[in-house]
Structure 1
């Protein structure tokens, strides 16, 4: 199984880039994992929020392949403790044949078409974080989940 974090727009803050890349590399010790970036839209000032979500949604859907399991990182999704997320990942690793795609949308969220494509939604917190920061939080939690599953010292109960 290949695991991908799909994001809209590049990460701009260097300290986030450094930390995200560190967790991606750590996670690769356990699973096939990469972050893919859909370029941010240009000239968005002339677009409504809905139009922007639709255009980003089209780009997201173009990236997806038949057989992908799509999980949106969405404020209305299921919340997990880290050990619960690790258990959830363990089930996915046993059952997903092709790609497990986690998606962080643009600043206004997802289009209805992307929601229809999704198999599940996960919330990282009830709190609101920037789209840049949630990339770091997710990659850290994915690494933590892999470390838990492999009995590593990173996580303590």
Structure 2
């Protein structure tokens, strides 16, 4: 900070506020949108009952694939919206992003019997999103 020419007080050089996201927050927003879109496609495939999903075993937490499809479709849309909100850089958007990433991890964990490789990839993406949103720097005005 430097003193002003009139002696009226300090002036601040550079931006005083960062209203938009940066760094890890942008990464998290992009990954949330990507994971949400993958969940939408996953849910649409399950709802359509196409040959992509093959159920071979009976598990303790079984549910028909159409029911799981609707869960993934709705959750995917919510995750995409949360990913877009994360770009605002607001604390509430980061908290919502962490919350929907946790829900995404839970849904994909329960999806493991139906499509294990896809579910593991989405669990890893959600874990990265949670980490990025928690480690990202929140810039506040002094």
TM-score bracket for this pair, using the shorter chain length: under 0.3
Structure with the higher fraction of residues in strand conformation:
1
Structure with the higher fraction of residues in helix conformation:
2
| TM-score, reference length from structure 1 | 0.26
